[in-house]
Structure 1
Amino acid sequence: MCGKKSGLVGMVREKMREENCAEECGSEYADVPYHTEVRWLSRGKVLNRCFELREEICQFLETKGKDTAELREQKFLCELAFLCDISSHLDALNLQLQGRGRIITDMYAAVRAFKTKLCLWENQMLQGNHCHFPCCQTIKAQISTAVFPCAQFAEKLSVLAAEFSQRFADFDVQKCRFELLSNPFAVDVENAPTNIQMELIELQCNDTLKSKYDAVGAAQFPRFIPDTMPQLRTQAAQMLSMFGSTYLCEQLFSSMKMTKTTHRRRLTDEHLRSILRISSAQSLSPDMNELAPKKRCQPKPENAVTIAVSSRVLFRTETEQKVYEQKGVEEYLRYQVEHENEPFAPGPAFSFVKALEAVNARLRELYPESEELFDIVLVTYNHAHVGVRLINTINHHNLFIERFCMTGGSSPIGYLKAWQTNLYLSADAEKVREALSEGIAAATMFMSNKLTEVSQTQLRVAFDGDAVLFSDESERIFKTQGLDGFFQHERDNEDILLDRGPLKDFLASLGKLQNKFYAKGHRLDCPIRTYLVTARSAASSGIRALKTLRAWGLETDEALFLAGAPKGPMLEKIRPHIYFDDQMFHVEGAAEMGTVAAHVPYGIAQKHPHKKCLNTGK
């Protein structure tokens, strides 16, 4: 019925615009609007204008020699009047379902009210009462009352009411849950779900919460439900997450140039993708005071714990390394550029770096303004051309590494000092030794095919004692005087502190960050945990190590004195992100158990290397 009337309007509209007939007739309106496919309810406005101009339209068509008998037919006029009135009511409902701040309970209330109105209108229509249908009243006053099809229109209202009931049946099932959101203080507790009855009683008896509800309204009140009422909070969150308003859709339509063209096209699959890129929240403005503390900025080197990691230990680059060794630099660079969109796989230091970032996240939560964080620097001998692939890989793995040092084959040691590096990890043993000679804590890492799964939330770092945290003084005694001489030396020097080793300062840096968590009451769930794993025996030589750490103001969370037993099984239990040892024998043993172990090439043990070597190359 509506389509037929709209088709007629289209024809009349074009001809009336050509002749300016409405103006000549002295009509209040100079034109008949045309509906858009985007907003179908605009048809109601078109029909209303057509109804108001019905006499002018007939006069115009008669001047053109057109038959207007159908337009003057009483049945047609009755149907047109009914369409105008019911379309106006639907348009009013549509407006109720739009606008800012509308939630699902508002929408449901509007639909329920409209269903009730339909029942009222149906009964009134059967009684010949058209007080809510002004166009019908106008036509009925002009024609015989007996001709007006009240029963027919009442039946259409009944069909419309049934359609609404069917369409919104799923929402009727949720009526109780909607009431809990719209006015939890008026809900009968006995009718509420049993899992929230106790919390609902506490809520309804809380005058403070009732005052807050009266002040902020249903939409904002769930924010003030206390944590002691988790079921009510969950209930409210579920209801608020439901699609509460067509406002965003309407705003999106008004923003799209596609709907502003002459032809006003539909939203079709062909251009849906591009349309959805348009912002539908133009009025939102960022809260800079809230966002600024969350912005991850690079800390200053003097405040941070700087970890320099080479690309060859952060990622797996064996294939690229073979290209370099077999085909030379130029072919290597070409290969890297050709594969720059292919991210590298994680290397042995990857889980360690991810753990550092997890610690940073916790520190930022507790100390938003602090720069005492881990700062990761990617160090590589590569040419700058390779930087694109490295950046793509970092983004692919969601790493936060902003500082790069690409030396193009030159030694990075000078840059490490400029970065005030606290730890340098590399696959190049020679460069590691060079860093150690410059007083920089450093270790050589090795590729392994077996890696044990490690914690995602707690950084675990394990240290050997002699020639790592401490000097190699006792190691030298053992090498020259044997085990008995070593024990005697330790007893004689029990109260004399050991000299510092190459990684002593790195342990101190970890301790500094641990203390920040302790200060906030997070000693037991601190995201940094350190271990001393030493071949010393506790009774005969362990006491000197513990006294030295205490005198330095340092500590490890756990200390394992193995008295010469293999370290691999203990490390497998600890599952550290990295373990530092000066002897390749222990490094290899740890690697065989799946532990990421790093070699510290320091002290007398380097003069007696183990025959099996896990890594060679630059």
Structure 2
Amino acid sequence: MGSEHEVLLYYTEVRWLSRGQVLKRLFELRRSVTFSENKENSLYEYLEREDFVEGLAYLADIFTHLNEINLSLQGPAVTIVDASERLKGFLGKLPLWKRRVESGNFANFPMLEELIMQKTQSDGHTTSKKVQKEVSKHLETLQTSFEGYFSPESLEKETWVRSPFLIDIDSISDEDLIKDDLIDMRSKEVLKAEFQAKDLGDFWGSLSQAYPLLVKRAMSILIPFATTYLCEAGFSILMSIKTKVAIG
């Protein structure tokens, strides 16, 4: 995006996605921001520019999407497998959104689309090619920055962890000793029922006695932290305890 939009991005870094709500509120209240009456305020000057407001609408939209993916990666039961799949789904959409934008379709960015429709109805002009080009470029940059979060190759080799009863058993090498355990496990209907009823981690944990080799491999995939959610939640609880102690 342009330099002024880069400033907005700086103040709404991806690791603090909740701040993206600020962009949404600023866009929604842009006509009634009280201090905008001060003509010397730089924000007033920006809000008077059509290209800046269009960029603001896009940033509000894209951060809404980022907030959604961020929330889906949080929670005590989210594993790297879950996070990888959800991020893969998000990344798969970005090229589609980019192609739509390049063809003038902004359906995936409702605030920007509404702004463009209002502009079209009022003066018959659509969004500028500059904004269209900047949005397309930013989507491409966003995809590149997200692609290094997880290693899809290592997870794809262990797809049996996610779907032990559906995976093609022949896709596992005959040299891999876990293949024996998988064949044996897949023959037991009661385990299929348990797999459907239990959380992925609980299911594999319950088999530690029966299939130690299989479980060890599965846990090496499931145990590593997918995000910093648990750490942040722990610090939040600790701060709450310390605050109560201090007040008491």
Alignment TM-score, normalising by the size of structure 2: 0.80
CA drift at 1:253: 4.1
Amino acid in structure 1 at the alignment position of 2:108: H
User: Equivalent of 1:172, from 130, 153, 157?
Assistant: 153
Residues 367-424 of structure 1 deviation map (CA, whole Å, 9 limit, x = unaligned): xxxxxxxxxxxxxxxxxxxxxxxxxxxxxxxxxxxxxxxxxxxxxxxxxxxxxxxxxx
Q: Which has the higher contact order (CA 8 A, sep 6+)?
A: 2
> Residue in 1 aligned with 2:201?
219
Residues 90-125 of structure 1 deviation map (CA, whole Å, 9 limit, x = unaligned): 111111111122222211111111111222211222
**Is 1:210 aligned to residue 192 of structure 2?**
yes
> Residue in 2 aligned with 1:123?
99
> Residue in 2 aligned with 1:52?
28
Structure 1 pair 254–80 and aligned structure 2 pair: CA distance change class (3 A) = same
User: Equivalent of 2:65, from 82, 89, 95?
Assistant: 89
**Alignment partner of 1:235: what SS?**
helix
Give the unaligned 5+ runs of structure 2: 120-124, 243-248
Contact 1:107 1:244 in 2 (8 A): yes
User: Equivalent of 2:7, from 4, 9, 13?
Assistant: 4
**Alignment partner of 1:54: what SS?**
coil
> Residue in 1 aligned with 2:39?
65
Amino acid in structure 1 at the alignment position of 2:32: E
User: Equivalent of 1:231, from 213, 217, 228?
Assistant: 213
CA drift at 1:39: 6.2
Contact 2:39 2:45 in 1 (8 A): no
Residues 289-332 of structure 1 deviation map (CA, whole Å, 9 limit, x = unaligned): xxxxxxxxxxxxxxxxxxxxxxxxxxxxxxxxxxxxxxxxxxxx
User: Equivalent of 2:132, from 143, 150, 168?
Assistant: 150
Amino acid in structure 2 at the alignment position of 1:45: Q
Give the unaligned 5+ runs of structure 1: 8-34, 261-276, 279-618
Superposed counterparts of 1:19-418, under 5 Å: 40-57=16-33, 60-62=35-37, 64-66=38-40, 68-143=44-119, 144-147=125-128, 149-168=131-150, 170-177=151-158, 179-193=159-173, 194-225=176-207, 227-255=209-237, 257=239
Contact 2:46 2:53 in 1 (8 A): no
**Alignment partner of 1:123: what SS?**
helix
Contact 1:99 1:246 in 2 (8 A): no
CA drift at 1:228: 4.7
The percent of aligned pairs where both chains have the same amino acid is 31
CA RMSD across the alignment: 2.8
Structure 1 pair 37–175 and aligned structure 2 pair: CA distance change class (3 A) = closer
Question: Normalized per residue, which structure has more strand?
Answer: 1
CA drift at 1:49: 0.8
CA distance, structure 1, for counterparts of residue 178 and residue 226 of structure 2 = 23
Residues 259-278 of structure 1 deviation map (CA, whole Å, 9 limit, x = unaligned): x9xxxxxxxxxxxxxxxx98
Residues 461-495 of structure 1 deviation map (CA, whole Å, 9 limit, x = unaligned): xxxxxxxxxxxxxxxxxxxxxxxxxxxxxxxxxxx
Query: How many residues are matched?
Result: 229
Structure 1 pair 190–151 and aligned structure 2 pair: CA distance change class (3 A) = farther
Amino acid in structure 2 at the alignment position of 1:190: D
Contact 2:20 2:60 in 1 (8 A): yes
Say which one has the larger Rg.
Answer: 1
CA drift at 1:36: 9.1
